[in-house]
Amino acid sequence: MIQGYKALIALLWLLAFAAVACIKETNTQPPSPFMQYTNLYNKEVKAGQSAHLDIDGNGSNDFSFYTQLVGDPILQRDRLQFLATSKIATNLLSNSHDESPKLNKGDRIGLQHDGYNWYEISSIVLAEKITPLTGDIHWDGIWKKANHHYLPVELIKNGQAYLGWIEISFDIQEQKLILHKAAISTQSSKEIKAGF
């Protein structure tokens, strides 16, 4: 009889463990089946460095990240800029101030965005360190405090638009841009969510 109770208790523990495992499984959201993902292995871009990304795996670079030092004699300051650029048939989302939105996980990426347009062969200043001749050094730019945020991107193939994202962080202390992951839709003109 004691053996029967032990077996019953062992069975109940096993069922409880299986139930918890099933609950855990349903809470994790798998990657989207219509997205092609690229692990960027936390690639860093520091002053004087660059990174080139082929996010659709076709052998040609789609987007580049680099830095440039700009002297501003009128305002008497230097600017160390961290930039993202697109090429022919690759687009960045930009507003009238040449800024791209810093999206959170789950934010919508569509063909249309209020206040923004898709531009090929464009350059966006993500963040910049401003060093005045007199006064304090400071940082500017929408992306200066990015922590696993998403840059919306678009590829044009055979006249069709494919939407995607690049996951980015920025470290002011270390003065570096960090590229985590990228994804591009395998279905044209399909609205997607950043990070999925």
Which residue has 């464009």 as its token pair? 122
Give the tens place of pLDDT for each residue, 46-69: 999 999 999 999 999 999 999 999
Which among 128, 57, 61, 123 has a CA at the least distance from the CA of 92?
A: 123
Judge if 80 and 110 occupy the same domain: yes
Give the tens place of pLDDT for each residue, 73-131: 998 999 999 999 999 999 999 999 999 999 999 999 999 999 999 999 999 999 999 99
The Cα–Cα gap between 108 and 134 comes to 42
At 147, the amino acid letter reads: N
DSSP 100-135: ---BPTT-EE-S-BTTBEEEES-EEEEEEEEEESSS
Residue 144: pLDDT band with limits 50, 70, 90: very high
Judge if 63 and 13 occupy the same domain: no
How confident is the model at residue 49, as a pLDDT?
97
Judge if 49 and 128 occupy the same domain: yes
Judge if 138 and 102 occupy the same domain: yes
Judge if 136 and 184 occupy the same domain: yes
Judge if 23 and 46 occupy the same domain: no
pTM of the model: 0.83
Alpha helices in the chain (DSSP H): 2-27
Judge if 10 and 66 occupy the same domain: no
Q: Are strands 50-53 and 117-120 parallel, antiparallel or unpaired?
A: unpaired
Judge if 17 and 92 occupy the same domain: no
Judge if 108 and 23 occupy the same domain: no
Residue 135: pLDDT band with limits 50, 70, 90: confident
166 in helix, strand or coil? strand
Give the tens place of pLDDT for each residue, 7-36: 444 444 444 444 434 433 333 455 677 999
DSSP category for residue 84: E
150 in helix, strand or coil? strand
38 in helix, strand or coil? strand
pLDDT at 71 over 80: yes
Judge if 157 and 109 occupy the same domain: yes
164 in helix, strand or coil? strand
Quote the domain boundaries for residue 187.
33-193
Total tally of structural domains belonging to the chain: 2
